[in-house]
Amino acid sequence: MSASFRQETGDRPLTGEGGPVRVLVTGGTSGLGLAMATALAEAGAAVALTGRSGPRAQAVAADLPQAIGVELDVRDESSVTRAVDEAWSRLGGIDMLVNNAGIGMRTVNPRFMTDPRGFWEVPVDGFRAVVETNLTGYFLVAKEVTPRMLAAGGGRIVNIAVSTSTMHRAGFVPYGPSRAGSEALSHIMAADLRDTGVTVNLLLPGGATVTGMLPLDAVPEGHAFLDPAVMGPPVVWLASDDASGVHDERIVATDFAHWLQDRTTERRS
């Protein structure tokens, strides 16, 4: 494991004697990805954030400390290889991958919350686009990063997930199945990587979050939705030494403080 995981006290806990923790955040130009990239960078990590538009990713990264923007289409194997090569080269390695890039129900139904449609009404090309991004994309990026982490002696993978109710909700094809698949993928990745030095965990907000995935007519009711910043504390913790050895957990951001307290109590008992 890189020395950059050495935990230090202070305002920048992700900068240790070996340098900053090096993190690749896919889909980091907006929503949950931007919130996590921001929290990690402000905590001292060196962050490579990706987006399908290279110039946009670079512009977003320019506003963060120690961040770079990298063009990446997670559905394209050659794009994944190029992006991981670039991030690894420019950061000097990747200690943690945050698999976050995704698209939502607006892809197939812009009014999915107020006018849900049956699965038989979903266009096939829309179904494929969502599954290829949310499931195949997680697989492709992890497949590219994992051998490098193993060769480097370890690393961490955080797969962003959603609530079980969202996976099963009426009118949520293809988003629900794509997220159910990515959660199953995460557990299998964890099983395959057990005792290798590479850990895999799931992180989810704990409710609907104000991002571009929401339909436009839902945003005015924003008081009912979570702020993407809720993902900051748990993802920073997962990058820290305190999370060393944490493996195959499903962490809910809204319950993170209680989860962490319970975990601390159990370890002391």
Instruction: Find, among 229, 255, 253, the residue nearest to 39 by Cα.
Output: 229
Q: How many domains does the chain have?
A: 1
Give the pLDDT score at 223: 53
Spatial separation of the C-alpha atoms in residues 59 and 229, rounded to whole Å: 20
**Is 13 a member of any domain?**
no
138 is catalytic: no
Query: Strand 96-99 vs strand 22-25: parallel, antiparallel, or unpaired?
Result: parallel
Bigger pLDDT: 208 vs 183: 183
Give the pLDDT score at 216: 56
Q: Which domain holds residue 114?
A: 21-268
**Is 4 a member of any domain?**
no
**Is 175 a member of any domain?**
yes
pLDDT band at 267 (very low <50, low <70, confident <90, very high): confident
DSSP β-bridge partners for residue 102: none
Amino acid at 163: S
Question: Which among 175, 198, 226, 239 is annotated as catalytic?
Answer: 175
Instruction: Find, among 63, 121, 85, 246, the residue nearest to 71 by Cα.
Output: 85
CATH of the domain at 74: 3.40.50.720
Residues 82/52, Cβ–Cβ less than 8 Å: no
Q: Which residue's structure tokens are 């979050």?
A: 209
- The predicted-structure confidence for 85-132, as pLDDT tens digits, reads as follows 999 999 999 999 999 999 998 888 887 777 889 999 999 999 999 999
Give the pLDDT score at 9: 37
> Which of the listed ranges 10-24, 103-117, 163-177, 232-246 does the model predict with the highest average pLDDT?
232-246
Instruction: Find, among 96, 112, 114, 94, the residue nearest to 104 by Cα.
Output: 112
Mean pLDDT across the chain, nearest whole number? 91
